[in-house]
């Protein structure tokens, strides 16, 4: 009983870590351009496919992972350049519909290129420190290396990102742009460059999350990004969209809720319960746990 509970919690932390990684991208982009980047979920699908192709061309896994992160960062910047930048001053609904369009574009492009059949990243190429099969005994429960790695890498990423935002000049610029774009421009900050960097970081983290997700649930398919993308978005909303620690805590809470539902209620109810949580948060605390209360301008 107790052992089961611990196992469920660890499972929850693992999925939660991935949600947190993906949610960071949502939160950063929303914080700076006030756009729900629907295509973010599909960026992680692109990342997973990149690793799949690289690995099947016998490129070592760590190199493939870095390749995927770089490729997705560039893709994020390109998407921003072509689709979102022309709409900076357009109504929010237009930008949102464009984001949905980009999401569709990536999905159908993947469908045309790779077909609908799910692919699996070759398990032989996955190094030992990422293997879900090698387990470590921790007294009462066994934890796989993958779980430890996922939780560890998420915390490291979060820490580095926090340092970046708080300490560096670029991070300061990011905060300035998200607070007041016009004033930031007057102070000589290159707004477009700052936004591009935000997209690059967010997409890179998304790609990392996507690859880990593809190893955890070992399939790669064109629509794989949709559900984790939505859940990561829920995590971001939970923590207060625009807040980086909020995204992290939201991701973990959501992962644990999902894991307990799967373990104690029924796995078919996990998704509706997660969506129900989103609805409850939005109804009772629309700004999330750490969100700022924005006044409405008339």
Partner 1 sequence: MQKTKQNTENKWGNLNYFNKLNIKNYSLTFLFLIALYFVLYLSIDKGNPFDYKSGIYTSVLISIIFAVSLNIAVGLMGQLSLGHAGFIAIGGYTAAFISKLLVPYNLPPFIQLIVVTLAGGILAGIFGFFVGGSTLRLRGDYLAIITLAFGEIIKYVIQNMNFLGGATGLKSIPSILDFSSVYFIAVISVVIMSMIMTSRKGRQILSIRENEIAAENIGIDINHVKLYGFALSAFFAGVGGSLFAHNVGILTPDKFGFVFSIEILVMIVFGGLGSITGAVLSAVLLTVLNEQLREVSQYRYLVYAIILIILMIFRPDGVFGKKELTIPRFINKYKRIRNNLNKKNNN
Using CA atoms, how far residue 256 sits from 25, 87, 106, in Å, is: 20, 37, 30
CB of 111 to partner 1, least distance (A): 6
CB nearer to partner 1: pick between 5 and 275: 275
Nearer to partner 1, 60 or 272 (CB): 272
**Least distance between partner 1 and beta carbon 184 (Å):** 22
Q: What is the largest CA-CA distance in the chain?
A: 61
- Please, which residue, 125 or 271, has the CB nearer to partner 1? 271
Q: How far is the CB of 289 from partner 1 (least distance, A)?
A: 15
Least Cα distance to 241 among 79, 27, 16 occurs for: 27
Q: Closest approach of Cβ 75 to partner 1, in Å?
A: 15
Binding site for partner 1 (CB under 8 A): 34-36, 83, 86-87, 90-98, 100-105, 107-109, 111-112, 226, 230, 233-234, 237, 268-269, 271-272, 275-276, 278-279, 282-283, 286, 296, 298
Detail the DSSP E strand segments found in 112-214.
135-138, 141-144
Comparing CB distances to partner 1, the nearer of 74 and 226 is 226
Query: Are 134 and 144 a contacting pair, CB within 8 Å?
Result: yes
Q: How far apart are the first and last CA of the chain?
A: 56
CA distance 59 to 51: 9
Nearer to partner 1, 112 or 128 (CB): 112
Q: How many CA atoms lie within 13 A of 143 on its CB side?
A: 20
User: Distance between alpha carbon 132 and the CA centroid of its chain, in Å?
Assistant: 21
Shortest distance, CB of residue 59 to partner 1, whole angstroms? 28
């Amino acid at each position: 009983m107790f052992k089961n509970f611990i196992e469920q919690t660890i499972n929850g932390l693992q999925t939660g870590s991935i949600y947190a990684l993906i949610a960071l991208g949502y939160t950063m982009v929303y914080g700076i351009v006030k756009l729900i980047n629907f295509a973010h979920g599909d960026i992680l699908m692109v990342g997973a496919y990149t690793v799949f192709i690289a690995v099947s061309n016998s490129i070592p896994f760590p190199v493939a992972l870095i390749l995927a992160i770089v490729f997705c960062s560039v893709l994020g910047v390109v998407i921003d350049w072509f689709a979102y930048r022309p709409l900076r001053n357009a109504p929010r609904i237009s930008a949102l519909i464009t984001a949905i369009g980009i999401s569709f574009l990536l999905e159908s492009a993947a469908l045309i290129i790779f077909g609908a059949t799910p692919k699996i990243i070759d398990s032989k190429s996955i190094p030992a420190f990422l293997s879900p099969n090698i387990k470590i005994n921790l007294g009462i429960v066994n934890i796989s290396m993958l779980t430890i790695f996922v939780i560890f890498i998420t915390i490291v990423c979060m820490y580095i990102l926090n340092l970046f935002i708080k300490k560096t000049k670029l991070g300061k610029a990011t905060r300035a742009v998200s607070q007041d774009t016009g004033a930031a421009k007057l102070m000589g900050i290159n707004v477009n460059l700052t936004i591009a960097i935000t997209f690059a970081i967010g997409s890179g983290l998304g790609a990392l999350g996507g690859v880990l997700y593809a190893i955890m649930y070992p399939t790669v398919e064109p629509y794989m990004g949709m559900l984790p993308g939505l859940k990561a978005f829920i995590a971001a909303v939970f923590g207060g969209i625009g807040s980086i620690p909020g995204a992290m805590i939201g991701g973990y809470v959501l992962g644990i809720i999902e894991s307990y539902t799967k373990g104690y209620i029924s796995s078919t109810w996990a998704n509706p319960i997660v969506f129900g949580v989103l609805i409850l948060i939005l109804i009772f605390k629309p700004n999330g746990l750490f969100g700022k209360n924005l006044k409405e301008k008339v």
